[in-house]
Amino acid sequence: MSVVAPFPGPRDRRPIATFDRRELNRILDLYGRMVAAGHWRDYAIRIHPDVTVFAAFRRSSERPEIRIEKRPELRTKQGAFALIGEHGMVLKRGHDLAGVLAPLERRLMRLVEE
State the DSSP code for 2.
P
Lowest mean pLDDT among 14-18, 27-31, 63-67, 91-95: 14-18
Cα 100 to Cα 13, 34, 48, 86, 106, distances in angstroms: 30, 16, 21, 16, 11
Q: Is the pLDDT of residue 38 over 70?
A: yes
* pLDDT tens column, 59-109: 877 789 999 999 988 888 888 899 999 898 999 999 999 999 998 888 777
The pLDDT, as a whole number, for residue 110 is 62
pLDDT in tens, 40-55: 899 999 998 889 999 9
User: What pLDDT, on a 0 to 100 scale, did the predictor assign at position 5?
Assistant: 72
What per-residue confidence (pLDDT) applies to 23? Answer: 93
Looking at residue 94, what DSSP letter applies? E
Q: What is the domain partition of the chain in residue ranges?
A: 21-113
pLDDT score for 74 = 83
Q: Can you spell out the DSSP letters for 23-65? A: HHHHHHHHHHHHHHTTS--EEEEEE-SS-EEEEEESSTTS--S
How much is the pLDDT for 39? 87
